[in-house]
Structure 1
Amino acid sequence: MKLWPTGQARGLFRTSTASMHPQGSPHISSFLAALNDGSDRVLTVNGIFRNHVYLHYPSNRACDPGMMVLTRAGAAFGPLSLEVADLDALPLFPRQQGSWRDGAIQMGSASLEIASAMIVDTAVCRPDVREDRPRLWLSLFDQLSRWISCAETPSTVIAELLDDGPSDPAAMAVDQMLRSGVRRCDPALLAGATLSLAGLGQGLTPSGDDFLAGLMMAAFGNLDDPSSICLPVLEAARGRTSDLSWAFLHAAAHGHATAPWRALIRTADAPFALAACCDAIVRYGASSGEDMLCGFMWGLQAIHDHPHRRFIVPLHALSGSSRV
Structure 2
Amino acid sequence: MPEAASAMATTTYRAAVSARSAPMLARGRRGATVMAVYPGAVYLRVNGFPHPGLLPVVSTDALRLPNALVLGSAAPQVGWGVQPGDRVLVGDGAVRLPGLTIRRTRVWQPVPVPTAQSRVDVPCPPAVVALASTAWVGPARALAEGALAGADLADRAEVTVGSGPGLTPSGDDVICGVLLALRLSGADRAAARLWGAVRLLTSRTTTVSACLLAEAADGYAVPSVVRLASALAGGRERGPEVGAAAREVRGIGHTSGADLLAGLVGGLAAAQQHQHERALAGLSTVVAHQFSTADPGVTS
Shorter-chain TM-score range: 0.7 to 0.9
Gaps of 5+ in 1: 1-16, 18-22, 163-170, 309-324
Tell me the amino acid that sits aligned with residue 284 of structure 1. Answer: I
Q: Max radius of gyration: which structure?
A: 2
Q: Which residue of 2 aligns with 1:267?
A: 231
Aligned length, in residue pairs: 259
- RMSD of aligned Cα (Å): 3.1
Q: Which residue of 1 aligns with 2:34?
A: 45
SS in 2 for 1:78: coil
1:61-88 CA-to-partner distances (Å, cap 9, x unmatched) read: 3xx6321222122223112321223433
Q: Which residue of 2 aligns with 1:102?
A: 92
1:104-126 CA-to-partner distances (Å, cap 9, x unmatched) read: 21223432222x3241x323141
Report the TM-score when normalising by structure 2: 0.74
Residue from 124, 148, 151 that aligns with 2:112: 124
Q: Which residue of 2 aligns with 1:147?
A: 127
| Closer/same/farther in 2, CA of residues 266 and 60 from structure 1, 3 Å limit | same
| Greater strand proportion | 2
**Contact 1:191 / 1:236 at 8 angstroms: preserved in 2?**
no
Point out which structure has higher relative CO (alpha carbons under 8 A, 6+ apart). 1
SS in 2 for 1:194: helix
Provide the rounded CA distance (Å) in 2 between the counterparts of 1:112 and 1:221.
35
Question: 1:297 and 2:261 equivalent?
Answer: no
Q: Which residue of 2 aligns with 1:197?
A: 160
1:31-81 CA-to-partner distances (Å, cap 9, x unmatched) read: 2235544165421112221111121234553xx632122212222311232
1:31-110 equivalences under 5 Å are 31-33=20-22, 35-38=24-27, 40-59=29-48, 61=50, 65-84=52-71, 85=73, 86-89=75-78, 90-110=80-100
Provide the rounded CA distance (Å) in 2 between the counterparts of 1:286 and 1:161.
17
Report the TM-score when normalising by structure 1: 0.69
| Closer/same/farther in 2, CA of residues 40 and 182 from structure 1, 3 Å limit | farther
Q: Which residue of 1 aligns with 2:250?
A: 282
Gaps of 5+ in 2: 2-11, 277-300
Decide which moves more: 247-256 or 24-33: 24-33
Provide the rounded CA distance (Å) in 2 between the counterparts of 1:256 and 1:222.
15
Displacement after TM superposition at 1:248 (Å): 1.4
SS in 2 for 1:98: strand
1:236-281 CA-to-partner distances (Å, cap 9, x unmatched) read: 3322211121111121112211111111222222231211111111
Provide the rounded CA distance (Å) in 1 between the counterparts of 2:46 and 2:24.
12
Provide the rounded CA distance (Å) in 2 between the counterparts of 1:160 and 1:68.
29
